[in-house]
Amino acid sequence: MPLESDAALREILGLETIAVVGCSRTPGKAAHDVPAYLRDHGYDVIPVNPFADEIFGRKAPDTLADVEDEIDIVCLFRPSEEVAGIVETALERTDADVIWTQQGIRDDEAAARAERAGRQVVQDRCMKVEHRRLHAGSSRV
């Protein structure tokens, strides 16, 4: 069952490296502004986007499978119908302990598959909103 308790969300928000699948280079879009906020609050954000060479001055791998760095969280800004495939890629990695789908994005079957594989899942929640709510006035923790 996806995580919802404040304690679990605080623990996840204490992690450091986030691969943002569907990160946008367009200011004003949530898929740009949320990762920018997270960067501004001390997170190591890896933008994943096949249509951008770089975002935030950082090389943007085409897919999650192309991310060479170790990651803690896979944050998805992709339509719900794409979640299952991205989760499969995340499960092939030995890192990526958390799968987080942004507000309005969910796939209960993929979430259950990730949980059975030992991953933590947060669905249909905005990382920026949760960070602000749980860590108002602080940096990351």
Residue pLDDT, tens place only, 82-135: 999 999 999 999 999 999 999 999 999 999 999 999 999 999 999 999 999 998
Give how far the C-alpha of residue 118 lies from the chain's centroid of Cα atoms, to the nearest Å. 17
Domains and CATH numbers, the chain: 6-134 (3.40.50.720)
- Distance between CA atoms of 135 and 56, rounded to whole angstroms? 23
Residue pLDDT, tens place only, 33-82: 999 999 999 999 999 999 999 999 999 999 999 999 999 999 999 999 99
- The pTM score is 0.94
Contact of 65 with 21, CB cutoff 8 Å: no
